[in-house]
Structure formats: C-alpha cells, structure tokens
Amino acid sequence: MKRNTSLLYTLYGCFGVLLLLSAGCKKRDLSDLEQPSYPTTAEVFIDDFTSDLAYAAFGGSDVRAFQVDNQVVYNNTKASMRIEVPDANSPQGSYAGGVYFSKTGRDLSGYNALTFFVKSTMPATINVVGLGNDLGASQHVVSLSGLTVNSNWKKVIIPVPDPSKLKVEKGLFYYSAAPINGSGYTLWFDEVKFENIPTLANMTGYVRGGNADSLTKAETGDSASMASFRASVNLPTGVNETVDVSPYYFAYTSSDASVATVSENGMVRVIGAGTTVVTATLGGKPATGSLKIISSGTPVMPATAAPVPPARNASDVISLYSNAYTNVPVDTWNTHWQFSTAENSFIKINNDDLIRYRYLNFVGIEFQHPTINITPMRYMHMDIWTPDPTALPNNFKVLLVDFGANGVFGGGDDVQHEITVTAPTLVSNNWVSLDVPLSQFTGLTTRAHVAQLVLSGTVLNVYVDNVYFYKLPTAPATAAPVPTRAASDVLSIFSDTYTNVAGTDFNPNWGQSTITTQEAIAGNNTLHYANFNYQGTQLGSNQDVSSYGFLHLDYYTTNASQLRIFAISPGPVETPYTLTVPTAGWNSVDIPLSAFAPVNLSSIFQFKFDANGATDLPDIYLDNIYFWKIPAVPTVAAPTPTYPAASVISIYSDAYTNVAGTDFFPNWGQSTQYSQVAIAGNNAIKYSNLNYQGIQFGSNQDVSSYQYLHVDYYSADATSLNIYLICPPGSAGGQAPWEKAYALPVPTASGWNSVDIPLSHFTPIVALNNTFQFKFDGGTGSQTIYLDNIVFHQ
C-alpha cells in the first residue's frame, strides 16, 4: 500500500451530480435492478487512509490534534494515528476529538468487533471511543467510555451488538479525549480495523438499564424511553465488557399495542387505557429489562378555558401566569425539590394557556430573579380545576414566601404563610376562582420580596391558570346597590333613594385630616372620604330610632386596613362597630342597633368613622346610610317547598295535603292570639301577642323514617323564638310529655327565614315514632310571628 505521510483533513466536499434529461424516453422497469453493493473493507487505518476514509474534528476541539505518525508505530507497522490532546487552556481547543468516516459507506455486516491498539505518553483515561458516529443520524453508535491507557501498547475490542445492522455504515471510528488534570498528552492509535472474532461470547442486551420498571399512572399522550441501552460481551480474555449502544440495535415489542406503541428508537408512546409490558431483543435474543405501563387512558381535563380575568390597569396587577396580563419573570414552575413527585406541563384549552400538575404532593414555584413587591396589592387570584374528589378532608394549599431584604432563602429574614382551601369552595370538575385577601396570609408580615409560591394538598391532579396579585381601583366604577326597602320602614341619613334628614352636616370641623366630598359614581351621589383618619357626621336633628332594628350602610375601600362606625347619643355616649376592610367591591352591611348599646337609641345625633389608629390615610366611599325596620307584615309569600309529596308529612302548607284535624290554637292558657291570613295569595299562620302557643296534630305521627322538620317563619319584632317537638307521656318513659326545643334566629331581617331542622336534634328525648304536638315560645306577650310550610320530609 502506498504510504502518505502528510496530514490528511477531509472537509465536507461537493459531489457533482449529472442529470441526463431526454425528452420522450421510454419508462424503464426498475424491478429487475440489483441493490447497490458496498465494499466490505475492514481496515480503518493500517499505515495509511483507505481511499474512502475521511476525518472531521468535533466542534470545540483542536482541529489539528490528529496527525499521521511514521515514527511511533505498533509492531513495526509503517504509520499510526497520533493525537495531541491539548492543555486545558489551549487557544486551539479544549480537547481532542473527531470522527473517521467512510465517504461512501461500507458493508460491515461480516464483522462482530472493531479493534485497535492504543498507547499514550502518560497514564490517562480516554473519555470515549467507538463506532457508528457518521456525522448524521448516527443510528448505530457503540461507545466505550473511560478507556484507561498508558505508555504500553494495548489492544482494545469494541463489540458490534448486531452486525446485520451495518449494511451501509459510514461511521468507522471516533474518539474524544480531554486533558488530565489540566495537562495535555499524546495518544497513538494503530491497526484500527473491523474483525470477526469467533471467541466473543454471551452477547447480552440491556434496556431500561436492565431493570423491570413500571409506569403505573400513565395516561394517553404520555411517552417514555427504553433507555439506558447497553450491551455486554465476554472477551477472549475472559473479561466481560459493557458498552453503550444505540437504541436502533434493538427490536421492541409491546404486549398490548392498543395501550402503548414503541418506535425503532425505543420511544414508548401511550395511546390508550390498559396494561402493557414493553420488552426488547438484541440480535434475536431477549434483552434484560422491561417497562410495564398501566394507563388510565385519556386524561380528564377541563372542557372549557378558565374564566377570563377582568380588564385591569397595569398598575393594579402583578401577574405570574395569565394570557390576560403581562407576566413578570418566573424562574421555574417546578423546582423539583427532593421528595416532590409533581410533574408539570404547559397545555392549551380553547387556545388558553394552562399549567397542568400531576402527582402533586407539593411543588415549588420560584421567581427569585427578581423577587416581586406585592405590598401595594390586596388580593391573590388563582383559577384551579381538578378531576379529583374534593369532599372533606381533601384540600388544596397555597403558601407564599418572602425572602426578606437580602433576597435569599434562609437568610434569617424570611417570612411565610399558607392558606388551605376545602369544600364547599373546592369542587371537582369545575373551575374554582380563588380571590384570597392578602390579609389572610397573616404570617406574611412583609411582602416586598416575595420569591416563592408553593402548591400542595391532597388533590393530585390540578390545572392552574390566571395566577396574579391585584388591587381594586381606589374609586368604585359602579354605584352602590339601590335600596329596595319601603320608604315607610326607613329613616334615611344619606341616600338618593329616600328623603334624607334635613340639615345634616357631613363635614363638621373635628380637627380631622379627612377631605370630604360628594361625588357622582355612575350617576349616583356618593360620599368620598380622602386622606381619611376620622370623620364625623352631625345629624340635622336628634333622631329617635328606638323603633328601628338596623343601621344600613354601603361602603367601598380598597386601601383601608381599619374602619369603624360609631353611633353617638348626647353625653356623648358612643359605641363602635368594626367594618370588614378592604372590600372587593361595594360591601352592604345591616348592623343591629343593639350592637351600639348603651347608646340612647331615642336620641341619636351623630355618627363617627375612624381608622382605629391606623395611619394609612385611605379612601372611603359611603352611600345609603339609613335606619330601617322589618315590615310588621310580610309582603311576599313564604317560598313554595319543592319536596316530592311522597316524601312529606305536612302539618301546614298549601303545597301538600295536611294531616287532618290538626288544631292550631289549642287552649293551653296562652295569651297568644291566632288567625290564618293570606300573604300574596298564600295561607299563613299568624300568632300575635305571643307568649307561647301549641299545635295539636289531628293524629299521632310516626316520623322516624324522616330526616328533617321544615319551617318557614317571619317576625319583625321577636327577639327570642323556640320550636318544640313533643311526644305523648310514656312514649319515651315517664308520665309527662317529652319535648325538646330548637332556637330559631329572630328577628328575620332578610324576610322569610327557611329552616330545615335535623330530627336527630330532638332525639333521644323525643320518640320520633309517636309525635303529637308542636310548641312555640320565647315571646313576652307583645310579639307577632308568621308561620308557613310546617312539614316533615326525607
């Protein structure tokens, strides 16, 4: 063989292609053409390059590291391949590495090993040597990692796992070698060739690292790899050698292809529900390792996107994840902390971006670079959807962590707080919109350097969208709700709906910093307290409100931390009532006048609002300040019950057939007066001058198979009211009737009250299989109550 001692570098050349075009050519039958044949040349480098051999250096390596050396050779051959591994700081490259490839391809199916001799100037470990790297798809790579060498020639055998795969192979030999302890050295390779070594024995393939793995919570669309891929063989020396191999050497089988399929590169894709086991063979022999897949099939996910957040000013929102707003940088939506099993993916539903979490025990979300200042914000919003059971004790938890001024976790100034969401707020298969006041994160005492959000709980599958912090606009965009109470039941101080007490001063000079104005909000006159610390209201005249039951107030503030209202009588005598702030819109409150005791309700002459010492100087909006009382007579009928008649025993109701012969006014010595009245066309019982009153059933009733006693009741003036269920003497032992009371809240400020009393409340004192009476008491002889729809139901 002619020797060429010059350094050979083959760059990517151009092969000219001649196209012969002939008009009117007869179409040729190609079926009889022979498949092209490729040379079976075994030599890679023995004294020189073969005619089809080329070399290409790896990117970042020293491109001139390889030379042909005719001085240092193995066993008196004429030349070797010399590799100059550079020093770590070499400007020519940080390592030596490249590929020796055939420009045309070779048929190497007759060989079962690549062999060569190697030595070095010093003890060293070559990072990797192998075959099959063709600078393209490289489907038949075999690599031997961590090859130790020294100054003595050493023969190396790299087995070919399945020679039949190498029918057209271009990747003949490749290597990569890095400096040792920062210092370079010299390598020599010689007698590089493919061989057929009959004494190579016990070729064994390994997939999944040789393990019998399981994927037990798979679902349609999941994928997994059969990696890692290895092969081991017993060398002629008796030593077992293991090499990393391409997945294309293996053939794969899924025991149930309707559950999962596997491609020729070992990628498994789940396509349906069920169980399958994926295995492999190498050269027709079973490989060690497998993957068992248990799939639940198509994942359960929302059918619709999360609710679209409202339009907000950019200054009112800090968004972490939402299509509706501009998001701040988030370092990661899954920190993969130790012991976290959570997996996350980003998906779209109806073109809306969501984050899906699976196997959620806990997951860290970090936005440390930079941290965010949520001090001006008032709420945290998050939309969540889960297919999992949500009944108690299941829960979903949200933890916020502030890293403190140093911006470092564990820096000594961290603070955090976690809130828990449970049923009935937490529901399955529906979007749940969480708007959590940041004030509920009581342990988050500073909010200027928030850097972590941690989600956890018992629901393992959660879809998340619209994660942001926000504050409401300082001024309301809509007017306060319009009151609907009859003017005859109202004494108004400030409202467009009613006639107000004349001459009231809404800005008396009490030395306050507050700036008081009256502004039109959506066309409605509204009080505005700006720069608020405290503010008085001087009524035009003293007002006797002792016949009224409540003080109504609509208020709006998004930036107050404390707010109280005082009713004041001469003396002065004043009592505060604390209002919940900040608000998420207009708040409507009806304060029982009893809450202002010991203020003299017959002579109210002032109101006062204050911030209870808070110094934040917020904005307060007020409307519809009036006293009101419950109408003595209901103006609407009680709600019509909808229980199936078959599941009801009715004592009194127009909706059902009642127990015949019932006496609604037995003579028990009471002062109560009884009448039956029509309320909006519906019959109701009226008991006036109530001290107590009985009802005698037309016949004893067995209600032991029923669960509830339903009653609709109405009273404008009662302050105490009880209902008793009674069984006859001896029914539950003893000689006297057995009875037990249930307290009904009065007065009924919102109109008719509907109550469903569990019959278990009356046991074991009352024998439910033999009831015969009701009793009502709590009156002082002057109150009036209205009753309707007294029924037992299942």
Tens of pLDDT along 398-446?
Answer: 999 999 999 999 989 999 999 999 999 999 999 999 999 998 999 999 9
Instruction: Report the phi/psi class of residue 661: left, alpha or beta, with left for phi > 0 and alpha for psi in -120 to 50.
Output: left
Average the pLDDT over 197-209 and give the result.
96
Q: Note the pLDDT tens digit of each residue in 299-317.
A: 999 999 999 999 988 989 9
Cα–Cα distances (Å) from 223 to 215, 267, 289, 460, 613, in that order, read 10, 7, 17, 20, 60
How far from chain centre, in Å, is Cα 227? 31
CA atoms within 13 A on the CB side of 561: 12
- Please give the Cα distance from 539 to 560 (Å, whole number): 25
Superfamily of domain 314-470: Galactose-binding lectin (2.60.120.430)
14 pLDDT above the threshold of 50: no
- Please give the Cα distance from 738 to 74 (Å, whole number): 113
pLDDT score of 34: 58
- Please give the Cα distance from 74 to 80 (Å, whole number): 7
16 pLDDT above the threshold of 80: no
Cα–Cα distances (Å) from 108 to 102, 113, 192, 292, 325, in that order, read 12, 10, 14, 35, 60
Beta sheet of 722-727, edge-to-edge order: 692-701, 771-777, 722-727, 738-743
Mean pLDDT of the chain: 93
pLDDT score of 10: 35
Average the pLDDT over 371-391 and give the result.
95
Average the pLDDT over 584-600 and give the result.
95
Domain boundaries, the chain: 10-25+35-198, 202-296, 314-470, 487-628, 645-793
Read off the pLDDT band of 280 (50, 70, 90): very high
pLDDT score of 734: 52
In terms of Cβ atoms closer than 10 Å to its own Cβ (0-12, 13-18, 19+), residue 101 is: buried
- Please give the Cα distance from 621 to 480 (Å, whole number): 9
Read off the pLDDT band of 130 (50, 70, 90): very high
pLDDT score of 779: 85
Radius of gyration for the chain, computed over Cα atoms and rounded to the nearest angstrom: 43
Cβ pair 107, 36 in contact under 8 A? no
pLDDT score of 584: 84
647 pLDDT above the threshold of 90: yes
Q: Tokens in use for 594?
A: 């009893």
- Please give the Cα distance from 356 to 386 (Å, whole number): 10
Q: Tell me which of 20 and 67 has the higher pLDDT.
A: 67
112 pLDDT above the threshold of 80: yes
Average the pLDDT over 351-363 and give the result.
96
5 pLDDT above the threshold of 60: no
Cβ pair 53, 68 in contact under 8 A? no
Q: Kindly report the pTM of this predicted structure.
A: 0.58
- Please give the Cα distance from 346 to 354 (Å, whole number): 6
- CATH class of the 202-296 domain in this structure: mainly beta
19 pLDDT above the threshold of 90: no
Assigned CATH topology for domain 487-628: Jelly Rolls (2.60.120)
Q: Note the pLDDT tens digit of each residue in 71-95.
A: 999 998 899 999 999 999 999 999 9
Question: If we measure between CA atoms, which residue out of 657, 772, 618, 787 comes closest to residue 718?
Answer: 787
- Give every CB contact of residue 465 below 8 A, 6+ residues apart in sequence: 305, 306, 321, 322, 352, 353, 354, 355, 382, 383
Assigned CATH topology for domain 10-25+35-198: Jelly Rolls (2.60.120)
- Please give the Cα distance from 197 to 190 (Å, whole number): 18
> 472-510 burial by CB neighbour count: b if 16+ within 10 A, else e?
beeebeebbeebebeeebbbbbbbbbbebbeebebbeee
- Please give the Cα distance from 380 to 322 (Å, whole number): 13
Read off the pLDDT band of 737 (50, 70, 90): confident
For the segment(s) 645-793, the CATH number from 1.20.120.1200, 3.30.565.10, 2.60.120.430, 3.40.50.720 is 2.60.120.430
Average the pLDDT over 234-250 and give the result.
97
Q: Do domains 10-25+35-198 and 645-793 have the same CATH topology?
A: yes
13 pLDDT above the threshold of 50: no
Cα–Cα distances (Å) from 668 to 662, 671, 692, in that order, read 15, 9, 9
